């Protein structure tokens, strides 16, 4: 039996997306996304815990993240978890686990509070192979998307 590797994160960006081009000119964006939970402890005090998630978007999704997201933006990301490793300059093996973004929903920014970023229905779906437009924009060119 095989498993399912799917994760959904809804949170705010801790910094502006870092968008760069790979050697073969494919856009890749690295995003730092915070999620928080609040609860009341036994003494009646409100507690809060924040988790930080490293998200990586590719292709057109990466370009759209760079264009429409900024520090404080609220967004939803759906993708898969991937762990990779490398050796640092001292030869010590390092690991990181990241969300490989397959879908992003632009939900608004901390500054606007009203979601002046693209509407939640205006999704971008993509993976390492490139951009796949959402069904509502299947016949539209990228320049015709209304946001």
What are the extents of the domains in the chain? Answer: 7-38+49-135
Place of tokens 């997201």: 69
- DSSP-assigned states of every residue in 76-105: EEEEEEEEEEEE-TTS-EEEEEEEEEEEEE
Residues of the chain with pLDDT > 90, as a percent, come to 71
Q: Which CATH class is domain 7-38+49-135?
A: mainly beta
Q: How far apart are alpha carbons 78 and 55 in whole angstroms?
A: 10
| pLDDT the model gives residue 2 | 85
Pairing of strands 130-132, 93-109: unpaired
Give residue-wise pLDDT tens across range 72-101.
Answer: 999 999 999 999 999 999 999 999 999 999
Confirm whether pTM is higher than 0.75.
no
- Residue 64's H or E segment, with its range, is helix 59-68
The residue among 112 and 4 whose pLDDT is bigger is 4
């Amino acid at each position: 039996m095989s498993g399912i590797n799917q994760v959904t994160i809804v949170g705010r960006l801790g910094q502006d997306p870092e968008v760069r081009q790979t050697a073969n000119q494919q856009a890749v964006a690295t995003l730092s996304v915070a999620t928080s939970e609040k609860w009341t402890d036994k003494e009646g005090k409100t507690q809060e815990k924040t988790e930080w998630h490293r998200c990586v978007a590719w292709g057109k999704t990466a370009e759209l993240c760079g264009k429409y997201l900024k520090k404080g933006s609220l967004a939803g990301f759906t993708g898969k978890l991937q762990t990779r490793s490398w050796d640092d300059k001292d030869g010590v093996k390092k690991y990181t686990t990241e969300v490989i973004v397959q879908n992003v929903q632009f939900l608004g920014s901390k500054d606007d509070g009203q979601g002046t970023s693209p509407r939640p229905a205006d999704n971008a779906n993509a993976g390492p192979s490139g951009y796949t437009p959402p069904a509502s924009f299947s016949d539209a060119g990228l320049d015709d998307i209304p946001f």
